[in-house]
Structure 1
C-alpha cells in the first residue's frame, strides 16, 4: 500500500512540474487580456506609440500563447526552436 501511495505522490509531482507556470503578465495584471486592455487605453491616450506598441502587443500575445515565457526557466528554448 505504501508503494502505491509513493507512486501516486511521484505522479502528482511530475504532473505539477509539467504544468506551465503563470506568465509575468498574469502575475502582474491577472490575465493577458487585462494587460492588453490597459495598453490599448495607453495607445488611445497617446501614452504609447500607435505604430510600435501594437506590434509589441502582438509579439507578447504570441510569446504568451506559445508558452515561451516559461521555457527559459526550464532551459527548453532550444528544444522548441532548435
Structure 2
C-alpha cells in the first residue's frame, strides 16, 4: 500500500509509514483491498468505508468472513482503534 502523501509527493516520512500500517491492519481484519472499484461508491475506499461502519456502530460487520476464528469484541475494538488512529 502507498500512502496518499507518498503518491502525491514521492517523499516518504514517518507519517506515511504510520498511515500505511493502519491500512495494512484494516486489510488484515476486513480482507479487503484499500481501493476496490468493484464495490458501491460508499465502499470503494477502505478507510472511508470503515470509518462509516464504525461510526454507525457496525464494527462487528467489517470482519472478513473468511477468518476461521472471529476475534473477540475487545480484540476487534483494539485493532480497529489502533488502525483508525493510524489513518486519522
For Structure 1 versus Structure 2, the TM-score category normalised by the shorter chain is 0.3 to 0.5
Larger Rg over CA atoms: 1
Q: Which gives a bigger RCO, structure 1 or 2 (Cα 8 Å, sep 6+)? A: 2
For normalisation by structure 2, the TM-score amounts to 0.34
The structure in which a higher percent of residues are helix is: 1
For normalisation by structure 1, the TM-score amounts to 0.36
